[in-house]
Structure 1
Amino acid sequence: MSAAPVHPGTSTSRRRRGLLAGLSSAAVLAATATVPSAWAEHYQASLEGSMFEIDDDANLAVDVEGNRDWANVDQVFDDDEPSGQGDDSYSGGVKEDTSCPGETTGSIPNNKSDLLQFGTWVEDGDPGFLHMYWVRVSEPKGTTLMDFEFNQSATDCDTGPNKIRTDGDLLLEYSIDQGGARAAMTLRRWDAAAGLWGPATDITAAADAAGTINGSPIDQTDTLTQDQSARTFGEASVDLDAIFDDTKCTSFGSAMLKSRSSDSFTSQLKDFISPVPLTLTNCGQVKISKQTDPDGATQLFDFAKSFGTDPSSTDRDTFQLADDETESFTNVLFGDGYTVSESSLPNGWSFEDIDCDASTGFVTEGEGQDLSIDLTTRTVTFDIDDDQDVLDCTFYNKALADLTIVKEVEDAPGGQSFSFTEDVPGGEGDTGTFSLTPTGTGADGSDSTGADFHGIDTGTYTVTETVPAGWNLVSATCDDEDLTDLLAEDGDGTITLGAGDDVTCTFVNERERGAIEITKTRKHAAAGGTAPHAGVTFTVDSDLQDEEGEPVFSTTVQTDATGTACVDGLLYGSYTVTETVPADYVSDDTTQTATVSVESTCGDGKEATVSFVNTPLTDVTVTVDSLVPGGTASTVVCTDQDDTTVTPDTSTPGTDAALGDLTVTFEDLEPTDPDATLICTITVDP
């Protein structure tokens, strides 16, 4: 059986990776959850619950498959300087209570606890175990004394190899009488106020520690780069329950090994191996981060936690995070069923996801699961039961969007309501309807959606206007052209909203319009009976009146050479067309009504039409002129076709009535007028 070698003669601190060091701590515990009975009976030095072999005859090899020993763990270790004049050691007269003992070189003979190497490894558990070993050059006479010091501070002393001591630093004393097989282990803590180590606690008697020494040589061909004689290698285990207060977080960041000249605690310190970094703590870590879309949001999001932290800390049970911020808790006490959750969402924001992939030391599914995520309640539930447990979760939120739909009209709305259908993102047929009713023309009379469209999910919306009869949609635009593809022809438009967008889309309608074509003809004998009548003026008035009783629309037009005139741009409705009859004509009907109900323009053949026919008038004059003044006395009597006497419009006597002169005039005779057929009888009376 082989194991990783110990390398004496170097001074650089290293981590040695054993045969099974690639296994995660969770996998190691799962593979060795119970102590094999044969091993338990044979290796009575190992602590209950630990899978690490503290052998009666200490060694580095794994003697029972599935267990741990120095051959298959990733321990932290370091070597002493080679023996001789270059070997470092403590200065004369320094003791354990010396807070920063000085150092010298070449003062440790080979038979005076000259050290070669030491190492440590922390075994996961509840809370776990600290394992240590030491290697020395030879066995001196008397008691074997090894002191392992664990410091919380990483600050070096101004002189000597030690770290600055902090209240609660740890000193584990390993002591075996000459010829003994089991070590007595005691624990002391640094009393910063007194400036010395506190009283020793026997942790072996309490079954919180165990230590042994090799009673047999360890052959070079077995595990070491040199032969190790008996009693030159020792190992020990300490239950972390004896080290840590489970109500307070404590972290040790370095370890070192020291030897003393005798079993008296106040005896002089001899050799040392300088501190090496390690992680020994009874707390895990929690990191909660926030990411938002869009990036850079200043909105604060509320969080609540239930996990325990060191009572001396200022950590609060609630905290807030903005985008790209992280809240870190480095003193999370071991415990189960901890939670951290994002509280009620701020207005205008949606929750997207929780990503805990950066976490270490957790089982996320199956047997032994100790981390779960509930997206519905925005909660992470987890256990912290190892100093390597680091919960690292990022909560993702997306800003909701605001959409405003504005309805404008270019014509008096007259109480017209405009209906819309809105399809929500996702394409699952979720629709909604709403209506807008402008009160006037332009922006001042517009109507718009309110809060119902604020704080909505991002995505592509389809907004469709149902254009009412008699109206046209003339434009549909958004204030951000990159976010819209509105179709003005049918009122169907897609609006893509991103996180935090505030978009206003305006639909503009105007009434449909038509035209009235006026045709004007006249009777004209010389033209063959009828002819177009140019230059005739017509007035077109809307039947709809304003508050003052005046038509809301009125215009005048004149017929062209073809006898036609046209007015377009007319709102649907009834219009009165009135002719201004030219002089010397009579109209059959001076006023007509036209109804505009079809969208049209002049010349497209869809206009509403009206026609007017005028008739020319004729004047008839009968004149009697006595050639001999006074020579005759004539009379004129005219009758119509019914032999009814027709009275002339005018009857003018001559210059001298006595002379018999007479003029009779019939004016404005229409061809169809019965009186227009005149039968005049002129009697010349001599």
Structure 2
Amino acid sequence: MTSSLGAGPWAGKRRTRRPLIAAAILVLVGSGLAGSPALAAHPEVSLAGSNFEIDTNANLKVDDAAPSIDWASVTESRKADKPTGATDDSFGQGTKEDTAVPSVVDGSIPPNKSDLLTFGVYLETVGTDRFLHMYWHRVQEPSGTTNMDFEFNQSSTLTANGVTPVRTAGDVLIQYDLSQGGTNPVLFLSRWVTTGATSQCEASNSLPCWSDKQNLTAQGDATGSINTTAIPAGEADGLGGISARTFGEASVDFNALVGGDQCVGFGSAYLKSRSSDSFTSALKDFIAPEPTNINLCGTVNVVKTDDATPGAPLAGAVFQLRKDNAPLGGSPGAEDTTVGTCTTAATGTCSFGNQVLQGQYWVVETVAPAGHDLASPPYQLVTVTTGQTATVTFVDPRQRGAILITKTRKHAASGSGSHPHAGVTFTVNGASKVTDANGQACFDGLLFGSYNVTETVPAGYVADGATTKAVLVDNKAGCSDSPYVGETVAFGNTPLTDLSVSVDSQIDGGTASTITCTGPGGGTVANGTTGANGDGSASATNLPPGTYTCTIVIDP
């Protein structure tokens, strides 16, 4: 089966394999673990802990019961070479492994060299262990040794040749060396080195270079085989009939390959053949890079908005990424471990990066931006998958405040001072309310901002100040809070009085009078004169409390 790289369908299960010891010397042993599965029914040299069948006589079909897997049962990255002949591409002009930009040419591959057909790569996950599996397929067996090199690159940027990727520090070269007529390959590891002493180079006297070869087979971290007999087309997983000694496979302990960096990733891989065992020998045929996405890690991004329509981005929200440990799901618990934090920028976004190991996590909002509440609930469960980006969106409600209005009035019958004034209408943000028996009206659910509070002054009163007052709401509160912690504003009214003064001559026309009334400031508030019959009056309305003086002059 072919496609993109992925974990095996039985990831998480184990089987007991024959371990490797000393430079590809194989010892077949029984399992000493109680309850372990039976050993394979046919000869294998698979790595311990892996479910992948590396058969002593390499093939592609699954020979044992589950959880065994082989190429025919997995979805690997597979790439075919260009057709054999004049259009087949190869490396030329003395290109060697340390050549950073290989020279790509066209032409047939000499019959004594490996003319490549196909290669495949697959990453298996078994619990916390990972195994990198590879195979190569060629036209014919060469007259000399078999020397296949799998190169894994992190960068997707191409070199000047437009085919091979730019190498970066930590790129990996896995060398599959098999003696003429041999059946047990030896696998070596080199890493691309860009800094440090040249003594760490396998062959070059200058940097960058491939590092000293590390014998993975001798360490028990790799194994491999070749097909010693032909493979029928029906068992070749779409590769067609395969002649003897033209198909080889290998497994490498990926954890040993990358060390403690669980999130190291290789975006592509390609296969090439060397002309001899010597690391400095010329490279010949190659199969162009194929995307592999060898990476057990993904990216987790957070988007933060308020509850407006559309939502506005929010800066300053703090999030934690917590590994969801058993028991899984439900809600975040004390058993979960924090593996990262991020704070949203002005764009309302933040990221935990692309180094999040695949698995299940909680994204938890711990600090909301000023003026906002935490999202409800303040956590989301996210599943991180290899090479994918998981994005979660949190909506923080904007906090609301309240304005409590207190209305008082002067009322002589109730005594001196101010007294609650019921029944007075106030308007805030287009809504109106009437004061209660305590002289209060409260408005809540107000988004933070400035509001005009306007009184409708009742008849018979004058406002003791402005009838419209601006109030800044910047405190989370509700009218039902006890104690009340919102905004407050007070209004006062004073009752008004009508004044009327009159004169009435007892003898018609007997007297003539003038009336003049002045207010507290000395200004005239009312005046009048009598008519021909000697009667007259002066009046004033809506007078606030104060001292008023009315002077009446009666002239006989």
TM-score range, shorter chain: 0.5 to 0.7
Match of 1:476 in 2: 426
1:96-141 CA-to-partner distances (Å, cap 9, x unmatched) read 2333332332231455211100111222352522111111112234
1:584-621 CA-to-partner distances (Å, cap 9, x unmatched) read 9xxxxxxxxxxxxxxxxxxxxxxxxxxxxxxxxxxxxx
Tell me: CA distance 1:44–1:333, structure 2 relative to 1, closer, same or farther (3 Å).
farther
Shift of 1:168: 2.5
Tell me: CA distance 1:404–1:238, structure 2 relative to 1, closer, same or farther (3 Å).
same
Match of 1:505 in 2: 453
Shift of 1:230: 2.1
Give aligned-pair identity as a percent: 34
Q: Are the aligned partners of 1:208 and 1:242 in contact in 2 as well (CA < 8 Å)?
A: yes
Match of 2:233 in 1: 220
1:29 is paired with a residue whose SS is coil
Q: Distance in 2 between matches of 1:323 and 1:347?
A: 13
Match of 2:138 in 1: 136
User: 322, 325, 328: which one pairs with 2:351?
Assistant: 328
Q: Distance in 1 between matches of 2:345 and 2:511?
A: 80
Q: Distance in 2 between matches of 1:109 and 1:535?
A: 143
Q: Are the aligned partners of 2:176 and 2:186 in contact in 1 as well (CA < 8 Å)?
A: yes
Alignment of 1:89-108 (within 5 A): 89-91=90-92, 93-108=94-109
Match of 2:291 in 1: 277
2:258 is paired with a residue whose SS is coil
> Given the alignment of the two structures, is residue 206 of structure 1 paired with residue 225 of structure 2, yes or no?
no
1:314-352 CA-to-partner distances (Å, cap 9, x unmatched) read xx9876423424333545375999887655445433222
User: 352, 359, 376: which one pairs with 2:375?
Assistant: 352
Alignment of 1:589-668 (within 5 A): none
Q: Distance in 2 between matches of 1:305 and 1:357?
A: 10
User: 421, 426, 442: which one pairs with 1:467?
Assistant: 421
Tell me: CA distance 1:130–1:552, structure 2 relative to 1, closer, same or farther (3 Å).
farther
Shift of 1:80: 0.6
Tell me: CA distance 1:271–1:247, structure 2 relative to 1, closer, same or farther (3 Å).
closer
Shift of 1:274: 1.0
Match of 1:16 in 2: 3
TM-score, reference length from structure 1: 0.55
2:542 is paired with a residue whose SS is strand
> Given the alignment of the two structures, is residue 29 of structure 1 paired with residue 11 of structure 2, yes or no?
yes
Residue identity opposite 1:174 in structure 2: Y
Shift of 1:578: 8.9
Q: Distance in 2 between matches of 1:210 and 1:523?
A: 137
Unaligned runs of 5+ in 1: 5-14, 308-315, 363-386, 419-465, 525-530, 585-686
1:349 is paired with a residue whose SS is coil
Tell me: CA distance 1:189–1:577, structure 2 relative to 1, closer, same or farther (3 Å).
closer
Match of 2:462 in 1: none
Residue identity opposite 1:243 in structure 2: L
Residue identity opposite 1:350 in structure 2: D
Unaligned runs of 5+ in 2: 17-35, 196-205, 324-338, 456-466, 468-491
1:151-207 CA-to-partner distances (Å, cap 9, x unmatched) read 223333324843332233211112334444443221112233534322221212322
Q: Are the aligned partners of 1:136 and 1:232 in contact in 2 as well (CA < 8 Å)?
A: yes
Tell me: CA distance 1:535–1:70, structure 2 relative to 1, closer, same or farther (3 Å).
farther
2:255 is paired with a residue whose SS is helix
Q: Distance in 2 between matches of 1:144 and 1:172?
A: 14
Tell me: CA distance 1:88–1:581, structure 2 relative to 1, closer, same or farther (3 Å).
closer
Q: Distance in 2 between matches of 1:225 and 1:282?
A: 28
Structure ID, larger Rg: 1
2:276 is paired with a residue whose SS is coil
Match of 1:172 in 2: 174
The alignment yields a C-alpha RMSD, in angstroms, of: 4.9
1:418-459 CA-to-partner distances (Å, cap 9, x unmatched) read 7xxxxxxxxxxxxxxxxxxxxxxxxxxxxxxxxxxxxxxxxx
Q: Distance in 2 between matches of 1:266 and 1:343?
A: 57
Moved more, 248-257 or 560-569: 560-569
Q: Distance in 2 between matches of 1:177 and 1:519?
A: 136
Q: Distance in 1 between matches of 2:46 and 2:517?
A: 114
Q: Distance in 2 between matches of 1:299 and 1:412?
A: 53
Q: Distance in 2 between matches of 1:151 and 1:556?
A: 104
Tell me: CA distance 1:502–1:522, structure 2 relative to 1, closer, same or farther (3 Å).
closer
Match of 2:329 in 1: none
Q: Which has the higher contact order (CA 8 A, sep 6+)?
A: 2
Match of 2:253 in 1: 239
Shift of 1:75: 1.8
Tell me: CA distance 1:417–1:409, structure 2 relative to 1, closer, same or farther (3 Å).
closer
Alignment of 1:551-562 (within 5 A): none
